[in-house]
Structure 1
Amino acid sequence: MNKRRLLSAIATLLIVMNISTITFADQDSSETQEIQENKVKYEQLDNETLELNSEIAELNNEIESINLKLDKNNSEIENTEIEIENINKKIEDAKIQIEEREATMDKRLRSMYKTNVASSMILYLITSDNLFDLFYRVQAMSKIISIDKEIVSEINTTKSELENDAKTVEEKQDNLNNLKLSIENDLNEVNKKKEEQEAVLADLNSKKDEIMSIIEANEVSLLSHSLSIIDSGSSSISDLKDALSTLNYMLPQLNSDYAISLAEQGVTSANTQIEALEAAAVAAAETINKNETTDNSGSTNGNYLATFSMSATAYTGGEYTAMGLKPTRDPNGLSTVSVDSSVIPLGSKVYVEGYGYAIASDTGGAIQGNKIDLYMNSLEDCTNFGRRTVTVYIVAYPNQW
């Protein structure tokens, strides 16, 4: 496990926790700087979160592997216990056989002792009828003695084998139990690491939520004008279509689930109202002069709040703009441009000659004064665009569209 990553994550959390509570820009800091700082913080926390999620996934894999080892060890312990039961049964059966043989030998010895077998054996030999009979009787006596020796030998061998088997199985069981304890300790350690990292992750997500609330407030503010037109209930078809167009263009750039939900609800409401108004107009046989909706073909209608001649460059990449939106290049909708917020306020809707409509939602260190940076979908598009002078029109300021 990479301890440096964990230490890095903890250090990041401590730094973020020591930063004063995130608020909207006050008199001592510009709104642009505040938005940019929140964007950097969120991206940093997001990266740390991704790293921690990756490490937790590795720990989950390790836990799964340890559990498999533990399951295998438990299975071996169960098999060993069954083996011990079988050996104990054999031992018990052997004990019965040994006891029976020992009892038989004991009876024979007692009988031999009572009948003075030594004298009887001598008498048995000397009363032989002939040499052949003597030889036969000696062989019979030797056979009896040999059988008794074999019985004793078998008893001793059986005892020794069973004792060795029992000792071997007990050692195996001890080893398996020790292995089980070792595996369980490893599992506890990994689970502890996982709990620690999940705690750090929870704190990081909490900080992310705080910053996302600011991003969400920015996004809701951008939607407020269009939503107010839709919610008024007395807007014209032209105004409703303009608001609907704005919401549809904004949706791909939104990050906040709440802002996305508001935009989607606004789209649904606008469509419903437009259908109702158009149906009423047809029923009344009225002629409705439809106002021109948003046109990104490159033409202009002269209804602009301000006009600038600017030096334009292009850029690509990045997950969030300074306002927390997703950077977008949509020739048929609203693209993303980076501006000097002291010249063009962040959140303004602009029209860039040869580029189309866009939202001024990003900033950059090199974008000062009458300069503008246009977002492109690829490095090749940026290279092809190069640097050129363009006319930039302000269509609407923040909260006016």
Structure 2
Amino acid sequence: MKFKKIGTVAVFMLLVSVTSPLTTFAKSVDEIKQEESAAKQQSEKISSEIQTSLSEVNKKYQEVEKLNSEVAQAKSTIAETQTNIDKTKESIKKRTAAMAGRMKDMQIQNAGQHKLQMLLESDSISDFINRMYAVSVIQEAERTKVESLYQDKEKLANLQTKLSDTKANLEAKKADAETEKSSLDSKVAALQTKLEENKSTISQLVTERKTEETRLEKVAADKKAAEAKAVAEAKQAEQKAAAEAATQQAATKAAQTSSSTQTSTSSSTTGSSSTTNSTNDNQSSQNNDNNNSSSNSNNNNTSSGSSYSLTVQATGYSVEEGGFLTATGIDLRKNPWCIAVDQNVIPLGSMISVPGYGYAIAGDTGGAIKGNIIDLHYKTIAECIQWGRRTVTIQVYRN
């Protein structure tokens, strides 16, 4: 189960390591798309500004054209007025000359003689009066005509002045309109340049985005291949771990089988020893006392055939403290008769006889079990406490 979890974690880590670059690149593509969208919006804004400016330019063009037409009309009217003024001047000049000629004739001929001649030539007084009235009317008409011509001349002169002012005003407006039109032309040209630059930016961003998307497709393909490879490697690792676990379980089972066999042998030996101890209790006690005395004085092993004695410090431990498999694979729940030893002093797998405890197998080790120290296994912690710590001489049977 542990190996399966490790394999799953390994696959996850590989997938994370493969996916991380893809996430970074995806963010880059999103940024490019945002820039592209912003550039398109800017392009639309510039296009709108160009349309607005073009509308203003066209309006100014129409205004300038209208002013040109009005200036041309004013020039034509001024020219026509000038012609009329010239004609009026000529007419005044002629009539003035005619009146001057008649006045001169009257002065030369003497007005009195002229009137006398008219009187003599008249058929009657009434005819004379009529002739005098006719002359007076003609003279008044001439005078009125001359005055009218002078008035027309004055009106035409005033009109010419007004038209000249109007022309000057129109030309000033035309100049202003042309200046504004020129400014708008420059603005439109600048906007068109800006629009072209923005289009170039959009084109560049589109190219960059497509390049990035192509690269991301390749990264995605590589990621997929890496994922498949990671899954395959994890599966192989899991299979290998399962095989190792199966091998370990088989070894543990074999050790348990061996332990069970040794325990059975130990039980038989214990039964035999119990019988012997019951018949020779005094002798065993005496021998133990002698052995303890010998061990305390010399602290040496005593060998006898296939076994040897050893004085050790014995403590107790229990499966209740946690953990039930020993260093050699013995399950303490099923085979509680086990002793932890220093394998450099007592070989693992040896049968040991402990006074006050009985026979057990040297089937475990411990961090604190060094030298002539052993740890006796009990089913309960209470039994361990009852045993305490004792100095005993044990019998170790060689394998």
TM-score by length of 1: 0.44
Q: Which has the higher helix share?
A: 2
Q: Which has the larger radius of gyration?
A: 2
Give the alignment's TM-score, normalised by structure 2: 0.44
